[in-house]
Amino acid sequence: VHKQSFEIGGRKFYGLDWLPRGELQTELAAIPPDAEFLVCHQVWQDFMGTNCATDGAIGEIPANIKYVLTGDFHKHTIINVNRKHVVSPGSLYIRSISEESEKNFFHAHGHPNGVVLFSSVPIKGRYVQHLEITTQAELDKWCDYLNSLLDVDDDAKRIVHIKIRQDLPEWHSRLNA
């Protein structure tokens, strides 16, 4: 949808593919004045702060845009910045074990007063469990638990991140069994 205007349900949208700083600001200035939604994939300063180089800030988006549907930020959230509803669905699947394993998407629906409402809808996906094993009793307990997972008929493969004390007897052979 790069540099394209389109309509959904009588609402005007405009799309931009990822653009580097400088090019983004030029294209933001060229958004048609009748567009109400911006669909994009950018690294926004409003999400990232000063943690990394960003492409732009929500405040650079023209005032006629009321809703920003954006990717790149891997957190499921909605924030309000400069009278704009900024919707980030987050990643749809786990990209790193440090991410939350619960994933969602947003369902948009109109309200009689013209406002667009967003509902969070869960996505069945991979579950991440973090374990820290520091005693022999914990090793015994978690080995039994991990073996029980092998019998679970589940479409979503689980990810188990284990932090273990290396001096526990037979930990390696027990977890590889």
Q: Does the pTM exceed 0.85?
A: no
User: Pairing state of beta strands 67-71 and 77-81?
Assistant: unpaired
List, for residues 29-58, the tens digit of each pLDDT value: 999 999 999 999 988 888 777 778 888 999
With tokens 């400069």, the residue in question is: 82
Query: Half-sphere exposure of 153 toward its Cβ, with a 13 Å CA cutoff?
Result: 0
List, for residues 149-176, the tens digit of each pLDDT value: 766 666 556 778 888 888 888 888 877 7
Nearest to 12 by CA among 40, 41, 42, 32: 32
